[in-house]
């Protein structure tokens, strides 16, 4: 049985990408070494053992955006869903960077229990998931950690969700897309970095020009987690 470092588990509405609006259970894993300067979950970066909670019962009292975490097995994660009476049938595994860990066991179990499973990843690590998992790759280009998106991650993606703030980010994406052979069925979503007016305008214009999708992080507009 594999244990995963978990920052939080909660139910909400998927606020990003092609499943925007779908009720979902979020599993947020701890740990990320990619170093995006604009990352909205910096509290998940560090696997500081001083911040390790003794067990999952502490997750119930945890405050938002805290950097504490606990180890949970796949079955404990599933049991947590029942303890909390969560209703969504869509599970989103995010982080931090969940692909720091092999997600085969967790995704096998969740799919076996009847959940539709989605992964949110930067694509900088090998993606180890059940073949039916919907994989959202959010490519990182030129980040501080020096890691790059792997071509095999782009090939596995069902959806590319790209955060943009300026023209240069579109040029970087174009350059990356040229080098990869992504299928026509793969949706490309542009996600403005924060709710900045200029990034949103640029994303809207580019989506209209290119026939891509806009992803505005709906949860941030309606006060949801
Ligand atoms: C917090 S990350 C966690 C999963 C994984 N590490 C990744 O980057 O895909 C989840 C999503 O939020 C996006 N994101 C993070 N900070 C953001 C911000 N300030 N504005 C817009 N999108 C952001 C990421 O690009 C990614 O698509
Ligand atoms: N509502 C909501 N939707 C999300 N979609 C992706 C998220 C993430 O942090 O990965 C996220 C999140 O944190 N909240
Ligand atoms: S890869 Fe994801 S979690 Fe890591 S720093 Fe970038 S946005 Fe944040
Ligand atoms: Mg988020």
Which ligand has the shortest distance to the CA of 40? 1
- Distance of CA 198 to CAs 68, 148, 193, 208, 215, Å? 34, 26, 10, 15, 15
For ligand 2, say whether the CB of 219 is within 6 Å of any of its atoms.
Answer: yes
Report the distance separating Cα 173 and Cα 4, nearest Å. 31
Total tally of structural domains belonging to the chain: 1
13 C-beta closer than 6 A to ligand 2: yes
Decide if pLDDT at 141 tops 90. Answer: no
Radius of gyration of the chain, Cα coordinates, nearest whole angstrom: 17
Percentage of residues in the chain with pLDDT exceeding 90?
Answer: 90
ipTM higher than threshold 0.95: yes
Residue 118 in contact with ligand 1 by CB distance below 6 A: no
Q: Judge if the beta carbon of residue 95 lies within 6 A of ligand 3.
A: yes
pLDDT of residue 96: 98
Check pLDDT > 80 for residue 145: no
Ligand 3 pocket residue status of 155, Cβ below 6 Å: no
Judge whether 54 is annotated as a binding position: no
- Tell me, in angstroms, the distance from the centre of ligand 2 to residue 174's CA: 25
* 194 band by pLDDT with thresholds 50, 70 and 90: confident
Whole-angstrom CA distances from 85 to 110, 113, 120 are: 16, 15, 24
CATH of the domain at 10: 3.20.20.70
Containing domain of residue 178, as a range?
Answer: 3-221
13 marked as part of a ligand binding site: yes
- Annotated ligand binding at 63? The verdict is no
Q: What is the Å distance from ligand 1's center to 139 Cα?
A: 10
pLDDT of res. 175: 93
199 pLDDT exceeds 80?
A: yes
Q: How much is the average pLDDT of 17-25?
A: 98
> If pLDDT is split at 50, 70 and 90, which confidence band does 196 have?
confident
């Amino acid at each position: 049985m594999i244990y995963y470092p978990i920052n939080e588990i909660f139910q909400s509405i998927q606020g990003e990408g092609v499943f925007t609006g779908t009720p979902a259970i979020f599993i947020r894993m701890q740990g990320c070494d990619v170093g995006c300067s604009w990352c909205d979950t910096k509290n998940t970066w560090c696997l500081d053992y001083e911040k390790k909670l003794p067990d999952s019962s502490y997750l119930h009292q945890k405050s938002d955006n805290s950097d504490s975490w606990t180890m949970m097995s796949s079955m404990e994660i599933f049991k947590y869903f029942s303890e909390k009476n969560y209703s969504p049938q869509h599970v989103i595994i995010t982080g931090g960077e969940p692909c720091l860990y092999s997600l085969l066991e967790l995704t096998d179990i969740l799919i076996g229990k009847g959940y539709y499973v989605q992964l949110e990843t930067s694509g900088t690590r090998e993606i180890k998931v059940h073949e039916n998992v919907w994989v959202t790759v959010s490519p990182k280009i030129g980040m501080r950690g020096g890691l790059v998106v792997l071509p095999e991650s782009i090939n596995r993606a069902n959806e590319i969700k790209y955060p943009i703030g300026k023209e240069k980010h579109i040029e970087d994406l174009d350059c990356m897309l040229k080098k990869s052979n992504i299928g026509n069925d793969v949706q490309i979503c542009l996600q403005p970095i924060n709710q900045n007016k200029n990034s949103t305008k640029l994303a809207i214009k580019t989506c209209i020009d290119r026939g891509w999708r806009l992803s505005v992080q709906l949860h941030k507009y309606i006060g949801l987690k």
